[in-house]
Structure 1
């Protein structure tokens, strides 16, 4: 193809460049939130109108999201992040005041108040959270945890973690137990044994000491239990967290 002048050539190059940019942005937009619904409801069908705009479509950074009308059977694997002090006391997407010490989370399309079981695939910890906010809108992250939830799952330190989340229907998701609450870990075995005896005397006779290694160091882990269900283990964790803030639930 020939061009009549340098100006015409430059104009054509500019047009091609702009087209490439637009195509690139369109491609990025389609991949921005993996698994999120970006298509409107079928023709003639309106999105359900939930309380407080629960199912109302919304747009963030040029991407439109259509919250699900039902959370039944929803499951997802991806990266979890967390948010805390900068948002503490501010309103969430459903109008609540964000409390970083409650077991809540943000999700892009799950209905508000959906209960979700989250498992940290890196360390096996599990926790139940309630969706009360929207987000996260960064890379491949699938859920934004409150500080309390992130702490229970061991996400606060690293900042992110690979997780599997499943919505909890009328009947709770049943994970195979038994379950324990890890109260603490010691490098001196005698200290762990002494704590185990004290906890057993307080009404936790199944408390055990488990040996583990991390980066070449041997740790003696005091684990309270055993509990037949995740519900029982979580109830115990909530009682123990006042004296051991970093305690968490594990499945044996």
Structure 2
């Protein structure tokens, strides 16, 4: 709020001269609206509006620099062929093999425990998934060709061969991370093997 200088004079009985005592007090709106006060108010509004305008420009400039940096990063990622995982989950994995070998899987193939395949409750058939054993860091890539596991709290059922690569057969289950990448659907002239 604007202030106005006020001068007071002290006339004591012992002094023959008046002493000036400087002080200031807030201006009232009435005083500010007087012709000289209007100039001060206009000046004040001008300063505030300039500061607001400069602040807005600074913020918008920073914002556009940030978005340009993001678009460059996105273009670099596209150019380098980096794809982000479409699906990522962590949970318990189990494996299945001898009892199901030679039987039909959910997508109509014949189950072969020596292939790098797996069963998952929701991933599309044919999806390639990278499975990482969180206990030892070993990784394997499997293709989803079956549905399961049906045991509670398990996220994936691996073939015997995939379980061997992850070094988890002895324990039977292990904590894993399952990741998939976007894949382009390929037309296949090959029909799945069906058992009769």
Greater Rg by CA:
2
Question: Quick check: which one's helix share is greater?
Answer: 2
Select the structure with the greater relative contact order (CA < 8 A; seq sep ≥ 6): 2
